[in-house]
Amino acid sequence: MVPEQLFDLTGKVAIVTGASKGIGKDVARLLAQAGASIALVARNKSELEKVAAEIHLIGRNAIVVPFDLTETSKIPKMVERIKDHFGHIDILINNAGLNIAKDAEMLTEEDWDKVMDINLKSVFFLCKEAGRFMREQKHGKIINMSSQMAFVGYYKRSAYSASKGGLTQLTKSLAIEWAQEKINVNAIAPTFIETEMTKSMFEDEDFRAQVLNRIPLGRLAKTEDIYGSVLYLASDSSNMVTGHTICVDGGWTVW
């Protein structure tokens, strides 16, 4: 394989959740630039349409799938519609996520359920349904967006850390179950990523300093810092890699 083919996704179909903004939007555009057709999944239809328009401008195919991932009973029909539209599903990026930043003693049962429903429950049922079609075609790539918080603790993230720890273990279990069908299931665990959505959080200079003090490479991550991992795990370059979580954390979890 020549170098320019290592991360080529021409002819592949990818589902990206949380694709209306932030990391999901950027990852969707990245996969499209690598040649994939994209099913954009999120609740905000108008924002998804903007992302789809950007993808169409670079000559790639994208469809808009407005969907509330907490409605897990509707996931099978949603995934089936995507499969019927494109004819196959090759890549699933479970990117949608939620954190409710509260001290543990202030966290309510409703807060806990909201975090788990998005970060873990919806991911399992998306994997289950996409995996059904991937098993039939005997290939597929599933990438779960975990977090360094799957491996370390931090303030105001008890539910979030629990959900991401569960996601990392789910990744391992599905990798074992589906290995014979040539489905690779992996995860990416970034550190804090500087985006428009997190910008206000890092305006707190004390918080920013605390975070940077824990990152040996000395800076926050940017979305493009995870691009290499995404393309690697989505492409044939990672055909012998499954069940792993790649930490893109600037060294935080090395401590």
pLDDT tens track for 214-227: 999 999 999 999 99
Nearest-10 Cα torsion for 148, 153, 155, 160: 60
Which of the residues 154, 155, 160, 232 is marked catalytic? Answer: 160
175 in a structural domain: yes
pLDDT of amino acid 199 = 82
Mean pLDDT of the chain: 96
101 in a structural domain: yes
pLDDT of amino acid 208 = 94
254 in a structural domain: no
Q: Which residue has the tokens 């020549």?
A: 2
d(CA 205, CA 202): 7
Indicate whether 122 pLDDT > 90.
yes
pLDDT of amino acid 198 = 81
213 in a structural domain: no
Check which CATH number belongs to the domain holding 164 and give it: 3.40.50.720
Indicate whether 2 pLDDT > 70.
no
47 in a structural domain: yes
208 in a structural domain: no
230 in a structural domain: yes
pLDDT of amino acid 71 = 98
Strand runs labelled E in the chain: 13-17, 37-42, 62-66, 91-94, 140-145, 183-190, 245-248
255 in a structural domain: no
CB atoms within 10 A of CB 196: 8
Residue 227 annotated as catalytic:
no
Number of domains in the chain: 1
Q: What is the pLDDT of residues 152-206, one digit of tens each?
A: 999 999 999 999 999 999 999 999 999 999 999 999 999 999 887 788 889 999 9
State the average pLDDT over residues 120-136.
98
Q: Which is it for strands 245-248 and 62-66: parallel, antiparallel or unpaired?
A: unpaired
Boundaries of domain holding 101: 3-193+224-247
